[in-house]
Amino acid sequence: MIITAGLAAGLGPAAWNAILDTVHAPGFFTDAPIPVFPVSWQDTGSGVFALATAALLLAVGPLAREPGRRVALTALLAALSALIVDVYLY
């Protein structure tokens, strides 16, 4: 489960960034003027794509027989980690 969530946290943002690079969208990389959490639209998109990818991969993979609440929570944690990494390290 951890490997699947980690893969999703990497694949989702990679797909989003590939889309932004393909369409030449530099405006998405502008950080918000909040010093403690300088999130941009690019970072937000990375989190959304990570959430969707994690939910899909977990629901058809290791958490297929688990309740939807557990799948959603695990996907949310994967997406949150991807967002935090994207905001502070990318």
Rounded to an integer, the average pLDDT of 17-25 is: 91
Please report which confidence band the pLDDT of residue 28 belongs to, taking 50, 70 and 90 as the band edges.
Answer: confident
As a whole-number percent, the residues of the chain with pLDDT over 70 amount to 100
- Provide the pLDDT for residue 30: 84
Domain assignment of residue 53, given as a range: 1-21+48-90
Residue 68 in domain: yes
The total number of structural domains that make up the chain: 1
Q: b/e for 23-44, b at 16 or more Cβ within 10 A? A: eeeeebeeeeeeeeeebbebbb
47 confidence band (pLDDT: 50, 70, 90): very high
pTM: 0.90
Residue 36 covered by a domain: no
- Is there a contact between 50 and 26 (Cβ–Cβ < 8 Å)? no
Helix (H, G, I), strand (E, B) or coil at 40: strand
User: At residue 27, does pLDDT exceed 90?
Assistant: no
